[in-house]
Amino acid sequence: MKRERSARILATLGPASSTRERIRALAEAGADVFRLNFSHGSHEDHAERYRLIRAVEAEIGRPIGVLMDLQGPKLRVGRFAEGKVALVPGARFRLDLDPTAGDAKRANLPHPEIFAALEAGTELLLDDGKLRLRVDACGADFADTTVLVGGTLSDRKGVNVPGVVLPISPLTAKDRADLDFGLALGVDWVALSFVQRPEDLREARELIGDRAWIMAKLEKPAAIDALDAIIALADGVMVARGDLGVELPPQQVPVLQRRIVRAARAAGRPVVVATQMLESMISSPVPTRAEASDVATAIYDGADAVMLSAESASGQYPVEAVAIMHGIVCEVERDPAWRAGLEASHTAAAANTPDAICCALRRVAGLLEPAATVAYTSSGFSALRASRERPVAPILALTPQPATARRLALVWGVHAVPFEEVHDVAEMVEHAARAASTLGFGCAGDAVVVIAGLPFGQRGSTNLLHVARIPG
């Protein structure tokens, strides 16, 4: 079960990776968590993939996390009489609520919430930013625009409104139905698309409760304006560079990526860097050198995980893509500059007992070089706080909750193991030492540093640190 790296790999399943044999091959190549993308596929497709993941998990003996990714409120234009039109720079073009098929002068935009938020001067992006319109005049059911960047616009292409907070819920009727289905399956993480404000997280939390951890996908500029508040309410965050790169100039995305990773690390929230990481491997058995550097940059910054999308879902080389990503991560983590960078970017712990214990854990691990650090955790809290510190030794998270072990599969440096309950400190230390030895983290005489909360089972009670030795 032991991984030889701290950062994790999140792989999307799809038509190219939905057999039991392929899912097992992906897990053996390095995938720690699998993503079910609810923008595509039926409930039956996702249920079968989930069943196969759990079958593979039982075979390999390592907890595997499952993340369901909700589609969110995707905004699109309507259809055109001839399927597409050519928009010429400088031309006038109207968007309205009229469901009639569009032409070169107008198109249906069936989203009154967009018109409610527009004002003169607002720019609209169409088809992933390939076309750009400027609003000259607008009302409750229309917007008269000038084409700034032209091109071909076809049926059902997406619309982005950068810089505007739209008065819409992040959860559509489809998302709510998908969410009910995914939670009934038993998914471990729910990725919430197009988060704009902290209230979006509160709305999702009311529906999800503690049945899964929530990952906020940061792909709207408005979310960056409320970054710290959103991170505080989420269980994890994703740098979703696809839509973020549409609504912002591309030169700003790397800067924001680093800012988001550092803010999430400071708050102790797992952070995933996603989108186009090994894009060329959809059709090529090897990535470009630039893509390899892109993955490496996320690891040097201290991201918890990096994600594959179409590369593993529909590409020709899904297993190879995971293996290449695994190799890049391992190579970076062997570089002394990687550890030096983590130390340099480390942020001070908060003035509370759990953070003080985990800060001490980091210092003790740096001095004693133990075989492992061991966190006893029921909710996952102790392991998350330990991971925030980025200790030099691997974090062995022993938990009586299988769901917690699966959620922690996404977290930097954590090797999560379902384990029986313990009843006192002596039993805890004995089990920690035995687990470190049995699972291949150390041998007789090696040190292990154990953290836990007393009384056992109480979330946020991390208040104990103990150094033990693996018995002979």
Q: What DSSP state is assigned to residue 339? A: H
Task: Say if CB 397 and CB 1 are below 8 A apart.
Answer: no
Catalytic residue among 35, 49, 62, 220: 35
Neighbouring residues of 115: CB distance < 8 A, sequence distance ≥ 6: 97, 109, 138, 139, 140, 141, 142, 143
Backbone angles phi, psi at 229, to 5 degrees: -65, -35
Catalytic residue among 5, 49, 132, 217: 217
Annotated active-site residue 275? The verdict is yes
| Count of C-beta atoms within a 10 Å radius of residue 88 | 11
Cα–Cα distance for residue pair 360/202, rounded to 1 Å: 33
Annotated active-site residue 35? The verdict is yes
Burial tier of 139 (Cβ tally within 10 Å: 0-12, 13-18, 19+)? exposed
| Count of C-beta atoms within a 10 Å radius of residue 133 | 25
**To 10 degrees, what angle do helices 318-333 and 289-300 make?**
50
Return the closest-CA partner of residue 261 out of 308, 302, 205.
302
Return the closest-CA partner of residue 131 out of 114, 155, 154, 147.
147
Task: Say if CB 143 and CB 179 are below 8 A apart.
Answer: no
Catalytic residue among 12, 122, 145, 275: 275
Computed from CA positions of residues 245, 215, 418, 396, in that sequence, does the dihedral angle turn out positive or negative?
Answer: positive
Torsion of CA 173, 175, 177, 182, to 10 degrees: -170
Neighbouring residues of 49: CB distance < 8 A, sequence distance ≥ 6: 13, 18, 23, 34, 36
What letters, b where the CB count within 10 A reaches 16 and e where it falls short, cover 3-39?
A: bebbbbbbbbbbebbbeeebbbbbbebbbbbbbbbbe
CA distances from 251 to 245, 246, 248, 275, 323 (A): 9, 11, 8, 16, 29
Q: What DSSP state is assigned to residue 85? A: E
Cα–Cα distance for residue pair 156/90, rounded to 1 Å: 23
Catalytic residue among 22, 76, 79, 94: 76
Give the active site residues. 35, 76, 217, 275
